[in-house]
Amino acid sequence: MMSFFGSKKVELPKHNPVLEHALKTPALQKLVGKRVILASNSPRRREILRTFGLAPEVVPSTFEETLPFGGFQDPHEYPVATATHKAVEVYERLVNENPDDAPDLVIAADTVVLTHPPPGLSSTPRFADELPPPQDILEKPIDKEDNMRMLLDLNGGVCEVVTGVSVVFPVLEAPGYKIKSIEERTLVHFAQNEHSLLEAYVESGEGKDRAGGFAIQGLGGMLVSKIDGDYQNVVGFPAASFFKFLEVLLEEEVDFLSD
C-alpha cells in the first residue's frame, strides 16, 4: 500500500505576479512572491506587462488628474507628476487598509500627447537665444468635430507621446516609502493622409477616448508613417525602459524588494 504521510505539502506564495514565461532576470526573480500593484485600470498597460511576464494586482488610483499643465515649466514633468500622485495614493490606501499585507511595489503610469514642431527649419530657433515654441497637451476629443480638428492638425506632422512611470516601495525611513520615476518620449510621424481617410477614422469612433484622438495599435495605425522611439510607449507603457529601470533600482536601492 502506498503511503503519503511522508510527502511534504507544497505551499504556493500568497502573491506571485511573475508568470512562467517571464525572463529570469534578477529583478523579475526578485518579484516572485511579492505583492505588486498596478495603479491603473488600463487594459493596454495590463496586457503589455503580461506580455513580458508580469501580472500585477490591479488597484486603480482614485487620484483626480487635475494637475495644472501650465504649472510645469517642462511639459514632460506633467505625466511624471501625475503618475507619482497615482502611485502614492494607492500605496498609502493599501497600507492603511491592511498594514500586514502592504504592497512591495506599486506601479503607476500616465501618458500624454504633446504637440511637436515639425522637422526642419520650423523647429529651429531663428536666434541663438530664442526658445522653441511651447508644447501644448492634446487632450481627448470632446466630439467628432474636435477629433477631426486634431487629426487635421496632426496630418503630415509630428506629435510627441510621453509616459511618466512612477514606482513606490517600502523603506524604513519616514514616511515609510520611496518614490522613483522615469519618463519615456516617442515621436509619432503622421502621413499626409487624404481627407476621406481621416473622416472614415473619425466615424469609426476609435479616437474618441484617446489622447490626441488616435490609437496607433488599432485603426489609427493607418494614419502613421513612422515613429522614433518605443512603440509600446505610444500604446501606453514603455516596457523596455521599465524593466531596465527595475534592474537599476535593484542595484542602487538597498531597500528595493528587500526580504
Would you please indicate which residues are annotated as catalytic (active-site) residues?
110
**Gyration radius of the chain over CA positions:** 22
**Residue 143 amino acid letter:** D
Contacts of 184 (CB under 8 A, 6+ apart): 162, 163, 165, 229, 230, 233, 238, 241
Annotate 215-246 with b (16+ C-beta within 10 A) or e (fewer). Answer: bbeeebeebbeebebbbbbbbbbbbebbbebb
**Residue 125 amino acid letter:** P
The sign one gets for the Cα dihedral 189, 192, 194, 195 is positive
Q: Check: CB of residue 118 under 8 Å from CB of residue 157.
A: yes
Report the DSSP pairing between strands 137-138 and 224-228: unpaired
The sign one gets for the Cα dihedral 58, 60, 61, 66 is positive
